[in-house]
Amino acid sequence: MQARSKSKRAFGKLLKALLIVTVAVVGGYVAYVFMTYHRLPYASEQHSTRTGNPAPVDQTYTALTWNVGYGAFNRDYASILDGGTESRARSLQHVFGNLIHCVDRIHAEAADFVLLQEVDRKSDRAWRVDEAEVIRETLGDYQSYYVQNLNSPYLILPIKQPIGAAKSGLLTFANRDILRAERVSLPVETDWHKLLDLDRCYSVCHIPTDDGRKLCLFNVHLSPRISDEAIPARQLVALLEQMKTEYDSGNCVVAGGDFNMDLLGDSAAVFGVDGGDCPWAQPVDTGLFPEGITLVDSLDAAQPVPTHRSGATGYIPGESFVATVDGFIVSDNVEVLSCYVANELFECSDHNPVVLKFRLKENAASEVTP
C-alpha cells in the first residue's frame, strides 16, 4: 500500500510538472505572437530619376490585376484557412510552376501595367521562395515596386505541417517610368482579430504622362469582413479618398486588385452557387464612391467568369462557390475600352486575372497641380 501511495504521489507530481510546462509553452507562444505583431510604416521613395519614358495620352494601355495566391493554389488545392486540409504549397515545383504559368498569361495579354497580390518572399508556406524576384526575372523589362502587407510570426498549426512564418505583399510592374511610389497603411481591426488579418495597405505608383500629368496606379488588397464589419468599408473609403484627391489634382487614376467584397452585388445569383455568409463576398457599397470615381464592370453577361473561388475544396465547376472580388476602379478622365476576366479556370491560383484596356483622356484643365 505504501509503495502504491508513493507511486500515486510521483505520478501526481509528474502531471503537475507537465501541466506547468504546457502552460509555460503555450503562454510563451501566445506572448511571442503578440509581441512580434506590429504595423508596417508609411513609405515613400523617389523610384526613378528617368524622365524619358512618359505615358503618351494618345495610346491604348492594358492593365492586369491578379492575386497569385502565393503560388500554392492549384485547381484542386484546398486551403486550411478556408476549411480545407492543406497549409502549404505542395512542393517547390508547384510554386515555380504556378508562378511561371501566371507570367505566361501576363505575357499573353501584353500587359503594360501589372498589379499582383499575395506575392511571398521566403515564406514557409511557399517553400521559402522569393517570389517577387522569380516574377521580376521571368517577366522581363519592367520597372517594379514591392510593398509588404503581411509579416506573420511562425504559426504552429496545423501540427503535422505548420503554416510557419510568412512575408507577403503587393508587386506592381510598369513598362513606363515610375517616378515616385508609396506604401499607404489601411485601417485594420484593433482587438485580437488583427492577428488573423494582414497588415493591410495599398501602393501608389506615380507615372508621368507626356502632357504634364501623372497616371496614379493603385495596387490594392482589402480585408474581408472578420468581426468588425465596418473595417472593409473604412478601407475602401480611405482608398477612394486618395483616388479622389489625385483626380481633383488633374491626374489620371487607375486602381486594381483584390477588394475582398462582391463587386457584382450578388455573385451567387450570377454564378448559381450560394456561398452563405461568406466573409470575402459581402456586397460592395457603391454609394461610397465619390463623384468622378467609378467601379469598372468586368461581367460578360453572355458568359460570366468569376474571379475567385472558395478554397474549402478543390475547384468543382458548378459546385464550388465563386464570386467577382477582383477588378478595377478608375477616374472619369480614364476612358475604359474593355474589361474582362481571363478564364484560367483557377489553374494556378484561387483567383482569375482581370484585364483592363484603357486610354487617358486629354487634359481639359489649363493647369495641373504637381
Would residue 227 count as lying in a domain?
A: yes
pLDDT for the residue numbered 42: 65
229: DSSP letter: T
Q: What pLDDT score was predicted for residue 275?
A: 92
For the stretch 149-168, pLDDT in tens is: 998 888 888 988 999 999 99
Q: How far apart are the first and last CA of the chain?
A: 91
What's the whole-number average pLDDT of the chain?
A: 90
Q: 59 and 14 in one domain?
A: no
CA distance 130 to 322: 29
63 inside domain: yes
Q: Is 65 left (phi over 0), alpha (psi -120 to 50) or beta?
A: beta
Residues 20 and 72 reside in one and the same domain: no
Residue 262: its pLDDT value, please? 98
What is residue 24's predicted lDDT score, i.e. its pLDDT?
66
| Residue 302, domain CATH | 3.60.10.10
Confidence of residue 190 (pLDDT cuts 50, 70, 90): confident
Higher pLDDT, 196 or 83: 83
**Do residue 76 and residue 4 come from a single domain?**
no
Cβ count within 10 A of residue 358 = 23
Per DSSP, 152 falls in state E
Q: What's the pLDDT at 213?
A: 97
Range of the domain at 24: 1-36
Based on the fold, state whether residues 91 and 23 are members of the same structural domain.
Answer: no
User: How many structural domains compose the chain?
Assistant: 2
Burial of 150 per CB tally in 10 Å (0-12, 13-18, 19+) = buried
Same-domain status, 321 and 350:
yes
DSSP 289: P
Same domain, 31 and 148: no
- Closest to 224 measured CA to CA, from 271, 275, 156, 173: 275
Dihedral-angle region of residue 345 (phi above 0 means left; psi in -120 to 50 means alpha; beta otherwise) = left
pLDDT digits (tens, 9 = 90+) for 21-72: 666 655 564 454 445 556 677 676 766 555 578 999 989 999 999 999 999 9
**Residue 48 confidence (pLDDT):** 58
